[in-house]
A and B are shown apart, each in its own frame.
Chain A
């Protein structure tokens, strides 16, 4: 094979880790890959059902509220806020990992605290959005009478509009809408929640000096991978539920 005196390292020649990655990190990557398939399957299933319907609610019509803004029509506004919260918390996480590479305990603690705050902010936003959707009362024509319903896994007030007694009134939309929305954002929210818990544990370990004694901050890196994955999934949840 190679005969010249090149700088090529024989990664597979034995005596070293061919991927040159620590075991825990390799396994975190493979876990995240399998998790990507789980989320992918959910989102593709949602896509299939959505494609099979003649009518699907317009996200700009459903998600147009903002806290303390009353009934103002603000499509995309709140979800943009949530997206930016998650991007920023992802950035603070990279900075924590970066501080870890420099064995900078103070830096790790500072950036982990910001990341945790970002996680809680995102969860708070999601809690508000869910509450708003579930408790919302929208006039819907059901069996010839007008009822006021919210969005749940069994009810969808965002169907096509029909003429009823001279005014346009919504009919019940496909129930799959609520099921997929709450199912997938809930599964993502659960990931955010577990990520926050992991980050808090990492923060406590950093404060206790566990990593300092170990001589490396690899655990922060692994927690960081999980946290970025949560942000990555949100890119696609944001795409599938709010943008298109």
Chain B
């Protein structure tokens, strides 16, 4: 028994079926990872092929991102037992992380805008888009 702190009265377990839950979650995480890998290979072969559809690739990448978030949910909820804690406590962890929503949107937006500025003729750094160039052309990517 946990008798070290009289104020803490709540303890998850020991309950039956916990090991079963762990095994189930393990299988789930493995399956999600395998699906992610399959999608990764789909992108790989699409990029290798002629004229890959950028919209479709972007869509597959979006699916992979969602699957990763699902994995994060199961790791935090089951392996780290956050799902078994009192809801208010879980919220003090999860709610601040919502800052990431705007954080990600704002910075990726900024990065994209930076690229667009770079590619304008009068932009901060004219930057020719090229994959095949003559041998004495300006080399891309040299910062």
Secondary structure dominating the interface of B? helix
Q: How far apart are the CA atoms of A83 and B29 in the complex, in Å?
A: 11
CB contacts (< 8 Å) of A21 on chain B: these are 8, 85-86, 89
Q: How many Å from the CB of A167 to the closest CB on chain B?
A: 11
Known: A161-B131, A215-B4. A239 touches B65 (CB 8 A): yes
Q: Sort chain A's interface into a size bin.
A: 35 or more
Cβ 8 A contact of A22, one of B8, B82, B93, B115: B8
Known: A235-B72, A236-B68, A244-B65. A52 touches B14 (CB 8 A): no
* B120 on the A face (CB < 8 A): no
* A214 adjacent to B140 (CB under 8 Å): no
CB contacts (< 8 Å) of A87 on chain B: these are 26, 29-30, 33
* A113 on the B face (CB < 8 A): no
* B104 adjacent to A44 (CB under 8 Å): yes
Secondary structure dominating the interface of A? helix
Q: How far apart are the CA atoms of A239 and B68 in the complex, in Å?
A: 7
* B86 adjacent to A162 (CB under 8 Å): no
* A163 adjacent to B139 (CB under 8 Å): no
Q: How many Å from the CB of B66 to the closest CB on chain A?
A: 11
CB contacts (< 8 Å) of B36 on chain A: these are 239, 243
* B47 adjacent to A216 (CB under 8 Å): no
* B75 adjacent to A90 (CB under 8 Å): yes
- Chain A's closest residue to B89 (CB) is A19
* B139 adjacent to A171 (CB under 8 Å): yes
* A55 adjacent to B140 (CB under 8 Å): yes
Q: How far apart are the CA atoms of A239 and B65 in the complex, in Å?
A: 7
* B44 adjacent to A90 (CB under 8 Å): no
* B86 adjacent to A20 (CB under 8 Å): yes
Q: How far apart are the CA atoms of A73 and B103 in the complex, in Å?
A: 36
* B5 adjacent to A54 (CB under 8 Å): no
* B68 adjacent to A160 (CB under 8 Å): no
Q: How many Å from the CB of B36 to the closest CB on chain A?
A: 6
* B65 adjacent to A36 (CB under 8 Å): no
Cβ 8 A contact of A11, one of B30, B88, B99, B143: B88
* A195 on the B face (CB < 8 A): no
Q: How far apart are the CA atoms of A165 and B136 in the complex, in Å?
A: 11
* A123 on the B face (CB < 8 A): no
Q: How many Å from the CB of A213 to the closest CB on chain B?
A: 12
Q: How many Å from the CB of A219 to the closest CB on chain B?
A: 11
Cβ 8 A contact of B7, one of A15, A40, A156, A225: A15
* Chain A residues numbered 1-30 whose CB sits less than 8 Å from any CB in chain B: 11, 15-22, 26, 29-30
- Chain A's closest residue to B117 (CB) is A52
Q: How many Å from the CB of B143 to the closest CB on chain A?
A: 6
* B135 adjacent to A52 (CB under 8 Å): no
CB contacts (< 8 Å) of B139 on chain A: these are 141, 159, 162, 171-172
Cβ 8 A contact of A83, one of B11, B33, B119: B33
* B40 adjacent to A76 (CB under 8 Å): yes
| Given A58-B47, A243-B36: 14 more A-B contacts, CB < 8 Å | A18-B86, A33-B97, A48-B107, A55-B140, A60-B47, A84-B33, A90-B79, A91-B26, A101-B11, A101-B18, A162-B134, A163-B132, A228-B76, A243-B64
In the complex, 15 of the A-B residue pairs with CB atoms within 8 angstroms, ordered by the A residue number, are A47-B108, A60-B43, A76-B40, A87-B33, A90-B75, A91-B26, A94-B79, A101-B18, A162-B133, A162-B137, A163-B133, A174-B141, A214-B4, A231-B79, A239-B65
Q: Which 4 A-B pairs have the closest CB atoms?
A: A51-B111, A20-B10, A48-B111, A52-B114
